[in-house]
Amino acid sequence: MIENGWPRSAAWTDGELRLGGIGVRELAARFGTPAYVLDEEEFLARCALWREALPDGEVHYGGKAFLCPEVVRWLEAAGLCLDVCTGGELAVAAAGGMDPARVVFHGNNKSVAELRRAVAWGVGCVVVDSFAEIERLAALAGEAGVRQRVMVRVTPGVAAHTHEFIATGGDDSKFGFSLNAGLAAEAVRRVLAAPSLELTGLHSHIGSQITDLGGFTLAARRMSGFLLAAEREHGVTIPRLDLGGGLGIVHRPGDPVPPGPAEVVAALREAVPARVRLAVEPGRSIAGPTTVALYEVGTVKEIPGVGTYVSVDGGMSDNPRPAMYGAAYTAILASRLSAAPPREVTVVGRHCESGDVLVRGLPLPADVRPGDLLAVPASGAYQRSMASNYNHVTRPPVVAVRDGSARVIVRRETEEDLLRLYS
């Protein structure tokens, strides 16, 4: 078994990397490259770990990490709920057969059409994010003759030690209502004053790729204190506290190993009143380590005094995270063994951008050559979901592997798919 961010089925056999019991050379021949190879058993095992850690609460899978109808079916079978944040993600949830009562609808600027659709579908909960949205949703629920269940999103003023682009718990966040400025208390008052809305909980989320429990527990204490204060002020019971997700994963050797689900839940439980139903929203920590991105080397360019560039057939269109906020990955030569000594290279993509870099300072065998396959672990979260058609490159498929079998759960885009959009 290979560790450090790889799925548990990853193993070296007969001189090549195997995933889910299938060699990467066969996967590349059958499905092409680039491709995302998803270990189905790993995904389900990670769902089970969260479900086992919180049997008396709710585990909401963060759909923005990676979502498709087949994943929705896995979540339904695993007993998880689902977080969505757009009408498109609502559509995928419905296509996968998710019970709408187990769907939570997030987002800082949901449109009227999206809210109307969510109410009509019977979505389990809407996380309100602004005063305008409270008014908008109350009117739509009133028109529909229903009492819509909501949570109020609160920014607890907790700084997560992560990149500024994925930190969401500070007072300057675009998300939610500031606790410190008194806006969260006012939001609770307005929800309770709306006959067509039912306040079922409070919500917070402090950021992503977090590897220590300090921020989580501080946010949990602040949110618990606010919940108790709101109950006293209004003489109500607020049954649920959703403390979000954001737990990090290992992307490369040497990365800090984050706590596991049981440790996270135990720490949160200590800060939350026992009678309050706890909810969490893991996304990356479920999807991330399940998937390996597979690329073919196209060119190897040595520049004297500068270094070596290894170009692959993907890049920032299928993994924009290194260019967006400096996310660091590793990669290995996956299609053969090599006795050549390692040398540091820069793995780059095929796009017309100097910033199209996937991995910097990567030790690869000095004989790496065109036609070799490189494998990048920890590629299951925020890669396919953030992928683009930059330079009119088609997006890769997602291939699920399990027990020696492989099947496409998201097909590769074609040029015909791109051309259909043009008049």
Name which of 103, 143, 142 is nearest 121 in CA terms. Answer: 103
**With 0-12 CB in 10 A as exposed, 13-18 as middle and 19+ as buried, what is 422?**
exposed
52 is in an annotated binding site: no
233 is in an annotated binding site: no
Task: Say whether 352 is catalytic.
Answer: yes
Query: Are 17 and 10 spatial neighbours (Cβ–Cβ below 8 Å)?
Result: yes
Q: How far apart are CA 381 and CA 291, in angstroms?
A: 8
325 is in an annotated binding site: yes
Q: How far apart are CA 29 and CA 7, in angstroms?
A: 21
321 is in an annotated binding site: yes
Catalytic residue (choose from 81, 85, 125, 352): 352
353 is in an annotated binding site: yes
246 is in an annotated binding site: yes
Q: How far apart are CA 170 and CA 370, in angstroms?
A: 47
In this structure, which amino acid lies at residue 369? R
281 is in an annotated binding site: yes
Q: How far apart are CA 106 and CA 129, in angstroms?
A: 8
Binding-site residues for pyridoxal 5'-phosphate = 246, 281-284, 382
Binding-site residues for substrate = 284, 321, 325, 353, 382
Positions marked active-site: 352
Binding-site residues = 246, 281-284, 321, 325, 353, 382
